[in-house]
């Protein structure tokens, strides 16, 4: 799983690009109604995914675990859906996707916290 940091960072970069395009679209149309979805996309999709990737690059032993792979897929589910889910909720199209994305996102962060504690000696 040496490629795991790459995939976290690559997904984060792609979601940042999409978030920037979404922001430009809102600026051009002067319609910022969905800005909460845009913000969640950028924070969860870009910032957290890149932080996860950098951590796994700094602590390669953590990246070699099965839990790290589970972490990637759970975090990916949250990152890919939270912006859309929040945008749907904001526009009155239902909250179910935001709820699923939020659960995936918090589970991903819980896995990250556990991983940091488990591999604390690597950063001490």
Q: Which residue shows structure tokens 């997904």?
A: 11
pLDDT of residue 69: 98
52, 8 contact by CB (below 8 A)? yes
Average pLDDT of the residues in 48-65: 97
pLDDT of 80 higher than 80: yes
Task: State mean pLDDT over 14-37.
Answer: 97
Q: How many residues can be counted in the chain? A: 124
CA 73 to chain centre: 10
Kindly report the average pLDDT of the chain as a whole number.
97
Question: pTM of the entire structure?
Answer: 0.94
Percent of the chain with pLDDT over 70: 100
Predicted pLDDT of residue 1: 72
């Amino acid at each position: 799983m040496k490629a795991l940091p790459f995939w976290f960072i690559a997904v984060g970069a792609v979601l940042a690009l999409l978030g920037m395009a979404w922001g430009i679209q809102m600026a051009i149309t002067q319609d910022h109604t969905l800005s909460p979805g845009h913000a969640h996309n950028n924070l969860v999709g870009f910032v957290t995914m890149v932080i996860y990737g950098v951590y796994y690059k700094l602590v390669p032993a953590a990246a070699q675990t099965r839990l790290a792979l589970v972490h990637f897929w759970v975090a990916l589910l949250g990152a890919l859906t939270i912006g859309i889910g929040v945008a749907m909720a904001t526009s009155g199209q239902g909250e179910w996707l935001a709820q699923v994305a939020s659960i995936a996102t918090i589970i991903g962060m819980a896995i990250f916290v556990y991983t940091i504690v488990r591999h604390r000696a690597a950063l001490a």
